């Protein structure tokens, strides 16, 4: 079964926060907040003019995650929607905010030439976002594309 972008984000959030001491009563809020902020930044970006190209550049590794406007948006969402309400202190807030470029960087390179024509084009985006190559894409209806576009268009993901 193909992983969705949300599954990939959740796994990276869990992996990257392992070494940070988050108060137990706030841990789920922080982990869900990181995931929602990163996913939210992708969802908001896809609806903007040039957003598909920004996502393509980030997911192919052509754009550096640290300087991507998608990463900046994720940081703003996380700071404004989560951190300002938790009162964790500036040191912990800084450590948690600093994870966002790392997590976004781990998503770089997931978009590759899937159809064998030598470049990454719209068809490759669709195949990758559906969760794999051509054969896998025919078996799945959702994957990353369903996660991002479904959320934007009012789906259940």
Q: Which of 102, 126, 105, 104 is nearest to 115 (CA)?
A: 126
Question: Dihedrals φ, ψ of 119, to 5°?
Answer: -145, 165
More confident residue, 1 or 67: 67
Residue ranges with strand state E in 31-86 = none
Give the total residue count for the chain.
157
pLDDT, tens digit (0-9, with 9 covering 90-100), for 3-36: 566 777 788 888 888 888 888 898 889 999 999 9
More confident residue, 23 or 152: 23
Judge whether 130 and 143 are in contact, CB under 8 Å: yes
Judge whether 114 and 124 are in contact, CB under 8 Å: yes
Q: Concatenate the DSSP letters of all residues of 91-131 into one string.
A: HHHHHHHTHHHHHHHHHTT-----SSSSS--HHHHHHHHTT
Give me 22's structure tokens.
């988050």
Segment among 40-49, 119-128, 129-138 with least mean pLDDT: 129-138
pTM of the model: 0.74
Domain ranges of the chain: 5-152
Question: Dihedrals φ, ψ of 91, to 5°?
Answer: -65, -50
pLDDT, tens digit (0-9, with 9 covering 90-100), for 72-123: 999 999 999 999 988 888 899 999 999 999 988 888 777 666 667 777 666 6
C-alpha span between 155 and 104 (Å, rounded): 24
Give me 11's structure tokens.
């796994």
* Alpha-carbon Rg for the chain in angstroms: 16
Q: What is the pLDDT of residue 2?
A: 47
């Amino acid at each position: 079964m193909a992983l969705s972008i949300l599954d990939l984000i959740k796994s990276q959030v869990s992996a990257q926060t392992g070494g940070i001491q988050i108060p137990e009563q706030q841990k789920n809020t922080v982990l869900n907040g990181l995931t929602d902020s990163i996913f939210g930044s992708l969802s908001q970006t896809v609806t903007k003019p040039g957003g598909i190209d920004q996502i393509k550049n980030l997911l192919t590794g052509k754009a550096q995650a640290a300087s991507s406007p998608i990463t900046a948006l994720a940081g703003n969402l996380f700071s404004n929607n989560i951190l300002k309400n938790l009162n964790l202190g500036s040191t912990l807030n800084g450590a948690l905010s600093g994870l966002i470029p790392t997590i976004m960087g781990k998503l770089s390179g997931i978009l590759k030439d899937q159809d064998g024509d030598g470049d990454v084009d719209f068809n490759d985006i669709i195949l990758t976002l559906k969760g794999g190559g051509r054969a896998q894409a025919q078996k799945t209806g959702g994957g990353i594309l369903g996660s991002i576009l479904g959320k934007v268009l009012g789906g259940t993901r």
